Structure 1
């Protein structure tokens, strides 16, 4: 998967924080607790699949 494909199917922590209106630390904590599954590319690069994000959003809406 190249970088362009990754950005279409995944969001970074800052992008997800902006989407949900929370701080980046909130996202990092939820990842650490296992509430959000992520893809780690190296030590610092973390991406979250759009499908995972949509699953969490559906659960939050009670569906």
Structure 2
């Protein structure tokens, strides 16, 4: 594994909070945002909706534009 990549476990409360969302497609996005918030890390995504939600919550977003 790349030494710059770190794998973290989700906390039980992350799973509970994500599971109560109305849209099941948001489950993974919510887990990503909660992890980023807790660890103070940016996210990398091509998903504009996720990027917008992250910015609204104060999570930095790294994007790639050609």
TM category, shorter: under 0.3
Q: What TM-score do the two structures reach when normalised by structure 1?
A: 0.28
Between Structure 1 and Structure 2, which shows a larger proportion of helix residues? 1
Between Structure 1 and Structure 2, which shows a larger proportion of strand residues? 1
Q: Which structure has more RCO (C-alpha within 8 Å, separation ≥ 6)?
A: 1
Q: Return the index of the structure with the highest Cα Rg.
A: 2
